[in-house]
Amino acid sequence: MGSPIEEFMREVDVKEQIRERLKRIASLSLKDILAYAISCEKEATKLYMFLYENVPTQYQKEYFKQFIDTERSHDEKVERIFKTLFPNEEPKIVESGMWRKLFERKLKTVKDYLDILKIAMESEKLAEEMYLILQKHSENLEHKRIFMRLANDEKEHYMFVAKEYDFYRKLKAESELKELISEIAREKEKEKKQNTEKDSYTQIYSQTP
């Protein structure tokens, strides 16, 4: 992991990239924005499927499984809207080669996890803003409500992923992810046991005449 200033500059660069992509998206036709949204949802599903299959704890798996289901439902909703507005056309789906390259990696260290979480954060923030653009420019009230719900879903995903990122960023980036999580679980169990023993002692002491 880089120095704090390097991390800060990287985050600034990411925000600038998102701003530039949003500018390009906002300049597209409604049809092209919808097609782009469908492509994003399909790629987000692949990303969370990769995380679901590779994270070591059931807690993380459950969250990412929910995200997979949500992104798939988003895909279906946007495709239905596309078909309603453009019944005789098919959305142009664009797949990024980045995903194939990404999935060749193994999720072993904390740094691997952080790299993928960062991509997820960028994707969620971009998706949220994209649905807000669609909500703003849509003339159909039901479509507006759908796009607003989708934007809120993406915001919730972003908040969870950002929380995961902040937690693991504070740990040793080169540590083995599975071993580190097991160590954290043992420490939490130890702390829980100590608190239980402390509460029992306090309760016994308070009852002593």
Q: What is the CA radius of gyration of the chain?
A: 22
Q: How much is the pTM?
A: 0.75
Average pLDDT over residues 29-38: 92
Give residue-wise pLDDT tens across range 76-91: 999 999 999 999 999 9
Burial of residue 209 (number of CB atoms within 10 Å: 0-12, 13-18, 19+): exposed
Give residue-wise pLDDT tens across range 36-57: 999 989 888 989 999 999 888 8
Cα distances (angstroms) measured from residue 126 to each of 12, 13, 22, 113, 133: 15, 14, 7, 20, 11
**Cβ pair 77, 150 in contact under 8 A:** yes
**C-alpha of 125 from chain center:** 9
Tokens representing 170 are: 């504070």
- The SS3 of residue 139 is coil
How far apart are alpha carbons 60 and 201 in whole angstroms?
35
